[in-house]
Amino acid sequence: MSALKSAEQNALDAAGGSADKRRFVKAMFSDIAPRYDLLNHLLSFNVDRRWRRAAIRALEWERAPDGLYLDLCAGTLDVAVELALRAGFRGRVIGADFAEPMLRAGRAKIAARPVFPVAADALSLPLSPASCAGAIVAFGVRNLADLDAGLREVGRVLQRGGRLVILEFTTPRGSLVRAGYHFYFHHVLPRLGGLISGNRSAYRYLPESVAHFPSAPELAQRMTLAGFEDVRWTPLTFGIAAIHRGVKR
């Protein structure tokens, strides 16, 4: 098997939940960090910015504007910085990600804002129990080696009544939209993303990881089982993505 085929097979295995998923994901994001922002905006036609702003609104941080908030799987800190920029926000944001090069790629965005990058695994956060007023994860939970353990860990660090908001890709229900989505996601995006990033396996992993991720109702059920109540979700852009929200019991 050639090195290219082996890398792509590793991507497929990781998307399916292989034992090496954590190692693969960490190495993959570390490798594509320098061009991650460019590709995010380009490949989503800049819609990702609007989705992130909607997710921050769903967090309802105004309930505790002075609180400590967690941006989990923070990547290049787009969400953390966007939250810190909200008018009236007086709290702090911890941007946690286990791929340190991603955090380094986003450090220039912080300036004097109350955003604090922390290199940490989502399954074992260096935060005290009930220390956070809210938590948000944008396009990160499907990359966790253990989704249920990750949800429980977020619950551990949230205060009672604290909100968890998850922004993630989904598969559209409408047949026409789903057909176009699958064509773009499985044929156009891997080639274009691989060409620009130089890492073909990373953009082979992306559509496969979405395909293996739980449906919106199933994710809501797993959030409930992890200790969240009043769990709801809102589809975005014809069901291409969804925002889930839940409250820590």
- Within this chain, do residues 101 and 129 fall inside the same structural domain, yes or no? yes
- Residue 44: pLDDT over 80: yes
d(CA 100, CA 7): 22
Tokens describing residue 139: 């396009």
Residue 171: name the closest of 159, 157, 185, 187 by CA. Answer: 185
What is the predicted pLDDT for the residue at 212?
92
Q: Work out the mean pLDDT of the chain and round it to a whole number.
A: 93
Inform me whether the pLDDT recorded for 156 exceeds 90.
yes
- The answer to whether 61 and 83 are in contact (CB under 8 A) is yes
Q: What is the pLDDT of residue 186?
A: 86
Residues 79 and 99 in one domain: yes
**Does residue 219 share a domain with residue 206?**
no
Q: Pairing between strand 92-97 and 158-169?
A: unpaired
Pair (66, 92) in one structural domain: yes
Q: Which helix (H) or strand (E) holds 80?
A: helix 78-84
Do 149 and 73 lie in one domain? The reply is yes
Same domain flag for 26 and 79:
no
Q: Do 153 and 231 share a structural domain? A: yes
Shared domain check, 151 and 194 = no
pLDDT at 15: 81
**156 and 249 inside one domain:** yes
* CB neighbourhood size of 20 (10 A): 12
Domain span including residue 124 = 46-170+214-249
pLDDT of residue 1: 46
Per-residue pLDDT band at 154 (split at 50, 70, 90): very high
Between 224 and 38, residue with greater pLDDT: 224
Q: Stretch 198-214: mean pLDDT, rounded?
A: 90
Who contacts 105 (Cβ-Cβ below 8 Å, separation ≥6)? 33, 34, 36, 37, 76
User: 58 burial class (0-12, 13-18, 19+ CB within 10 angstroms)?
Assistant: buried
**Per-residue pLDDT at 36 exceeds 60:** yes
Q: How confident is the model at residue 40 (pLDDT cuts 50, 70, 90)?
A: confident
Per-residue pLDDT, 32: 94
pLDDT in tens, 136-151: 999 999 999 999 999 9
Reduce the DSSP state of residue 231 to 3 states and report it. Answer: strand
How many domains does the structure of the chain reveal?
Answer: 2
Torsion of CA 146, 39, 50, 118, to 10 degrees: 50
CATH number for the domain that contains residue 226: 3.40.50.150
Give the pLDDT of residue 109. 97
Mean pLDDT for 100-124 is 97
Q: In this structure, are 51 and 119 located in the same domain?
A: yes
Q: Do 160 and 231 lie in a common domain?
A: yes
Whether 53 and 76 share a structural domain? yes
Quote the CA–CA distance of 131 and 108 in Å, as a whole number: 27
